[in-house]
């Protein structure tokens, strides 16, 4: 009787063990699905001046990273960011710990009078094990100019400085411009005699001397007339 019970117990334990073995891989796979993390990388562009250009910011793998390194959704086309605005490289997806490095820079455009920020950022995303059994990420960046100093944000500063328009000079001699326009500039002007003035002749005799001569001539005429009358009176009785 005891032997039969033991055999029956052994038969019952065997299916339980088989079931346990079958469910263990499923549980392990379920835990591996959660062993991952994602990260986002914001970028901003500042602009001194006023212009409606959109600035092109790109991201590439840093030197030494293999082609399996996760890239964001916008890696193929980059970001187009207006002045004094920001955007984000989304969804870096990681499934194992490690340091992942990227290069972020702004493409130099060809807008006249625009100075483009040529800073090149090297971004590091460090993925480590989290306390909850998953993964967590930490992000920092450095610049080519100062690779030993970490920066907390990626920002590009551009400047638009067109030349100030020069105001048109005020025409202080509008008569000259008018003369040039009608073709009279440079020609000798025709003098206009003053109203009531005696027209000038070609003689160089002064006007005062001319008046004196006229007065003297008139007086001489008067004297001659008087003398003639007198002579006629004296000669009259002798006939």
Tell me, yes or no, whether 180 lies in a domain. Answer: no
- CA dihedral in degrees (76, 82, 88, 89; nearest 10)? 10
Distances (CA, A) of 76 to 59, 63, 210, 212: 8, 18, 106, 110
Tell me, yes or no, whether 53 lies in a domain. Answer: yes
Tell me, yes or no, whether 141 lies in a domain. Answer: yes
* Domain at 134, CATH number: 2.60.40.3050
For residue 30, is pLDDT > 50? Answer: no
> What are the pLDDT digits (tens) for 62-82?
999 999 999 999 999 999 999
Q: Is 64 left (phi over 0), alpha (psi -120 to 50) or beta?
A: left
Tell me, yes or no, whether 218 lies in a domain. Answer: no
For residue 235, is pLDDT > 70? Answer: no
For residue 25, is pLDDT > 80? Answer: no
For residue 175, is pLDDT > 60? Answer: yes
Between 34 and 35, the more confident residue is 35
Mean pLDDT of 207-218: 79
Please give the residue range of the domain that contains residue 116.
Answer: 33-160
Question: pLDDT band at 214, cuts 50/70/90?
Answer: confident
Mean pLDDT of 29-42: 77
Across the beta sheet with 98-106, the strand order is 79-82, 54-61, 98-106, 120-129, 135-143
Tell me, yes or no, whether 105 lies in a domain. Answer: yes
For residue 31, is pLDDT > 50? Answer: no
Mean pLDDT of 212-229: 80
Asked which of 101-105, 143-147, 172-176 is least confident by mean pLDDT, the reply is: 172-176
For the chain, the first-to-last Cα distance in angstroms comes to: 221
What is the tally of structural domains in the chain? 1
Tell me how far apart the alpha carbons of residues 18 and 25 are, in angstroms, rounded to a whole number. 12
Tell me, yes or no, whether 96 lies in a domain. Answer: yes
Between 166 and 19, the more confident residue is 166
pTM above 0.85, yes or no: no
Question: pLDDT band at 42, cuts 50/70/90?
Answer: very high
Tell me, yes or no, whether 221 lies in a domain. Answer: no
Tell me, yes or no, whether 51 lies in a domain. Answer: yes
């Amino acid at each position: 009787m005891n032997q039969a019970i033991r055999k029956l117990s052994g038969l019952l334990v065997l299916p339980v063990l088989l079931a346990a073995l079958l469910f263990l891989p499923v549980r392990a796979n379920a835990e591996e699905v959660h062993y991952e993390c994602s990260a986002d990388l914001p970028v901003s562009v500042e602009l001194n001046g006023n212009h409606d250009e959109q600035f092109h910011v790109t991201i590439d793998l840093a030197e030494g990273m293999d082609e399996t390194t996760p890239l964001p959704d916008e890696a193929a086309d980059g970001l187009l960011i207006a002045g004094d605005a920001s955007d984000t490289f989304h969804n870096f997806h990681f499934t194992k710990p490690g340091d992942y490095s990227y290069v972020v820079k702004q493409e130099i455009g060809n807008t006249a009078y625009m100075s483009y920020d040529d800073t090149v950022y090297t971004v590091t995303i460090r993925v480590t094990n989290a306390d909850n059994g998953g993964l967590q990420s930490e992000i920092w960046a450095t610049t080519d100019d100062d690779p030993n100093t970490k920066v907390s944000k990626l920002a590009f500063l551009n400047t638009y400085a067109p030349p100030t328009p020069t105001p048109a000079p005020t025409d202080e001699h509008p008569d000259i411009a008018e003369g040039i326009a009608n073709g009279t500039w440079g020609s000798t002007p025709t003098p206009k005699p003053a109203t009531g003035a005696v027209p000038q002749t070609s003689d160089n005799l002064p006007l005062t001397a001319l008046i004196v001569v006229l007065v003297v001539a008139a007086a001489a005429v008067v004297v001659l007339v008087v003398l003639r009358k007198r002579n006629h009176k004296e000669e009259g009785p002798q006939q």
